[in-house]
Amino acid sequence: MTVTVPDSSLRVLGAAPEQGRWGLIVLGMVINLCLGSIYSWSVFVGPLTEYFKGTLGQSVTAGEVLLPFSVFLAFFAIAMPLTGKYIETLGPRKVAILGGVLTGIGWLLASLATSVPVLTLMYGVVGGIGVGITYGVPVAVAARWFPDRRGLAVGLTLLGFGFSAFFTANLAGYLIGTIGVMSTFRIFGVAFVVLTILLSLPLRFPPTGWKPAGWSPPAGTSGAGAACEYNRAVMLRTPVFYALWACFFIGCLAGLMAISIAKPVGIELVGIETGLATALVGVFAVFNGGGRPVFGALTDRIKPRLTAVLSFVLIAAASTALVLFPNQVVYIVAFAVLWGCLGGWLAIAPAATAQFFGTGDYPRCYGVVFLAYGAGAIAGPQLAGFIRASTGSYVGVFPVVAVLAVVGIVIALTMRGPGEIKGSTAGR
């Protein structure tokens, strides 16, 4: 249990909390940079296919090579709600270290895989659980330390996850070409274990009742989150939870589908050269990362409902453009938008969860909301692989995404804020 400390004696990373808390954002951002290496998966698809076919003599399909990616993200999402209560009881530092070590072990074990099922188990299950354990920690820390700028803080923290592929895709591409795909898994695994341990050590929650100097919570809210407007059980009885969950699912399905096939679509659909396609994955990651603080800040300024509608309009427009005008310029712009909107949803959803349901039970509440990400992780890449295998092209993916985005607009318009929901202080 956290003990209240007078504001004058509280220090964060050696500074006053109003300044030092930004250092916690930076630490969370770099931790997420390590965790977000999953978004460079499209760089591994070709080399893994060649490794299993050429080195091991195993025939694999597009859907099979995308399976570890889907399973990783699914177990990532499943681990989130199961970990929430331990972030509260054990503290953010211990949970982040445990998850970081497990993530690195998953990458290390992946380097020993001799088949797609083994790779799926080692990388997808072990690594995915590790990321799921760690991922919620920087988000929860940011939400607690920034009651005044929650959307922006969460978005900045998650920027590292989306921005990760800018570094890891190009680094992985270089290492794969130099030392091979399995040795690349090994190097990444060791690096992630060391980095996440070191970066997690300073993480902690603010004392109960703490709030930034000069800031007062808006009337009718809990402010610093010492109390919870909703616990998880109460949240599950509200219509806004299901609307938010459905919108998050659609946004993640579209974005994760785009991430999983970014490189092969560029090569196969619009004829981009392989090296440029790899580099563009890094460029798209910039938009994925940048979408988080941008959409997070929008969620602070306008209603989550309107921010969600904006994201779906962009998704629908990008997908439609790819169908009607499949050329290199449209591909680059459309995939930048799709990656950016996925990043946006990974800021909209946690910020909206805090706005709608409070922060006292936040890790467990957001853990359930985050299951939508796992559902999108399973559905998106596997749907893309099925369409590719059935039609011989990825072009059929994008009409489906456009239609889903329209459905998302309709659902988003039904989301109502906490002031429109009865019983906002219902039981803990």
Quote the tokens at residue 396: 């059929």
Q: Which amino acid is at 16?
A: A
Q: Which CATH number fits domain 16-420: 3.40.30.10, 1.20.1250.20, 1.10.3210.10, 3.30.2350.10?
A: 1.20.1250.20
Using DSSP's 3-state secondary structure scheme, residue 207 falls into coil
pLDDT in tens, 10-28: 888 878 888 889 999 999 9
Selected residue with higher pLDDT from 356 and 39: 356
The average confidence (pLDDT) of the chain is 84
| Distance (Å, whole) CA 156 – CA 59 | 42
pLDDT in tens, 160-173: 887 787 788 889 98
Quote the tokens at residue 227: 């109390």
Instruction: Choose among 139, 188, 133: nearest CA to 164.
Output: 188
The count of other CB atoms within 10 Å of the CB of residue 378 is: 17
- 237 pLDDT above the threshold of 80: yes
- Give the domain ranges of the chain: 16-420
Q: Is 214 left (phi over 0), alpha (psi -120 to 50) or beta?
A: left
pLDDT in tens, 121-167: 999 999 999 999 998 899 889 988 888 887 788 878 888 887 787 78
Quote the tokens at residue 175: 């290492």
Q: Which residues, at least 6 apart from 54, have a Cβ–Cβ distance to it below 8 Å?
A: none
**8-state DSSP, 127:** I
357: number of CA atoms within 13 Å, CB side?
Answer: 31
pLDDT score of 192: 93
Instruction: Choose among 304, 354, 424: nearest CA to 153.
Output: 354
- 418 pLDDT above the threshold of 80: no
Using DSSP's 3-state secondary structure scheme, residue 295 falls into helix
pLDDT score of 419: 52
pLDDT score of 227: 41
Quote the tokens at residue 31: 């931790």
